[in-house]
Structure 1
């Protein structure tokens, strides 16, 4: 297979960006197979994602591409990132006692529908050990209390560094991350919140929703920040419910939604389709 790469760009909007990028690729015998762009009028920022194939007799390697695009990036004040599609992102999943999102991600991974390398599952409980080890993955049981939180997060950070983790997925990890850990994981940690944010934050959102008699429930996948449940939103989905549904019914329906929303968010992230735009995201889906 020919080398396939993804280029993502964020820069001040101005004329000539698309022409410069496409000319750069054409001169290197590259064919564009997918391209998306967006101009945010409010901030005057331009976003672009290009997937391309290097077709020449001696296609440039990734490092060479990165070096050669530097002058264009400097000309347009670009934040440009280049990725090799053959390299699978290394993912750590963190979970507590609710296993539905973990089960779903593991199934998608084993079936080849999620192109990642899952390098570890971390939990503050031991409940998910059997399913994790059945999949041939290392399970890291790191209990935590209020008094040991700092030491436990030191262990998490050490594993992230040692395993070369690109993305951390909080698959119903029911712990609030410290500002220090949030900083370490900035832009590379996705959480699934069992509610349609910004409504019903915190604990038991489905029970909160049931008490309010809502007609729509949902789930939200977002980046983790120091502001609880307020990180930039990647994906959301809703389901209609009625007065006939109990709080437990809402939980069951919600779990199905959580799995699909989190899976899409993770897939878009590892496909480099999500670009940060302040407190918002640009998602080229």
Structure 2
């Protein structure tokens, strides 16, 4: 029997794309009506919508997913017109598009390996385009997942050059997100400003109680009952950037320091993973020194 080839029908309507729109602006009546109306005029079918009006900052936040056969230029023009009327800051992207991500590490592997596994298994919408390490200890881990490893050593004398190299990698690799996956170096104020809203960090939640070396040993010595982790955006204020996610584990007197370290690594990796996923899904909006997170 002869095979039959079905040719595409050029007159058939384009299949809709699912878009995600996020925005913030001064709160006032009519925002949702204006946005949904503009999208409806371009065949938009809203599939998900979340909003929050902050009485403290006076700002309104919206995350909306919409299906539309219109192209990006048409939708952006329609949204831009509304944005101009309401003084909006906004972003439009395709739902599920992997965000180009650069991971930065030192010697601890747990957060790196967890993120690379989640990327490979489809649990995080990121595209890891490279791994940067100030040591070479984790080069083999990057190679196992097929990721290029860039050794950028950092000393007091070379810190400026190292950060210039990082800027080069961000440009060359078209990086959208930088994740400090237990990267044990402090970024300069200048680099924090250059990458504002694009760098996520993870650290134990003992700060500021247990600073410096061996925080889990310090916590054990004080007999803490909860250990945890905080993931936040990086700013020039050390470990004080807008918080995205936090988590804790309960412990008791029977736990040794090694137990706290193991439990701490586990809570660190899952806290960071959630923060990265939510950022990549455009669920995190900055609200001054805080965040609005739409789950």
The TM-score with structure 1 as length reference comes to: 0.95
Give the Å deviation of 1:2: 2.8
CA contact (8 A) 2:23 2:62 kept: yes
2:195 corresponds to 1:185: yes
| Equivalent position of 1:35 in the other structure | 49
| Equivalent position of 1:274 in the other structure | 284
| Equivalent position of 1:62 in the other structure | 72
Structure 1 counterpart SS, 2:60: strand
Give the Å deviation of 1:164: 0.6
**Pairing partner for 2:60 from 46, 49, 52:** 46
Q: Are the structure 2 counterparts of residues 202 and 15 from structure 1 closer, same or farther at C-alpha, using a change threshold of 3 Å?
A: farther
Structure 2 counterpart SS, 1:244: coil
Give the Å deviation of 1:41: 0.4
Report the Cα distance in structure 1 between the residues aligned to 2:281 and 2:239, rounded to whole angstroms.
24
| Equivalent position of 1:212 in the other structure | 222
Report the Cα distance in structure 2 between the residues aligned to 1:36 and 1:269, rounded to whole angstroms.
15
**Pairing partner for 1:76 from 86, 90, 96:** 86
2:233 corresponds to 1:223: yes
Structure 1 counterpart SS, 2:51: strand
Q: Are the structure 2 counterparts of residues 17 and 199 from structure 1 closer, same or farther at C-alpha, using a change threshold of 3 Å?
A: farther
Report the Cα distance in structure 1 between the residues aligned to 2:55 and 2:174, rounded to whole angstroms.
37
Give the Å deviation of 1:205: 2.6
Give the Å deviation of 1:105: 0.5
Unaligned runs of 5+ in 1: none
Give the Å deviation of 1:85: 2.3
Report the Cα distance in structure 2 between the residues aligned to 1:166 and 1:18, rounded to whole angstroms.
28
Structure 1 counterpart SS, 2:205: coil
| Equivalent position of 1:7 in the other structure | 21
CA contact (8 A) 2:21 2:90 kept: yes
1:138-177 pair list within 5 angstroms: 138-177=148-187
The TM-score with structure 2 as length reference comes to: 0.92
Give the Å deviation of 1:81: 1.1
Structure 1 counterpart SS, 2:227: strand
Structure 1 counterpart SS, 2:169: helix
Question: Which has more radius of gyration?
Answer: 2
Give the Å deviation of 1:200: 3.4
Give the Å deviation of 1:83: 1.0
CA contact (8 A) 2:106 2:184 kept: yes
Give the Å deviation of 1:207: 2.4
The size of the alignment, in residue pairs, is 281
Structure 1 counterpart SS, 2:108: coil
Judge which range, 228-237 or 74-83, deviates more: 74-83
| Equivalent position of 2:36 in the other structure | 22
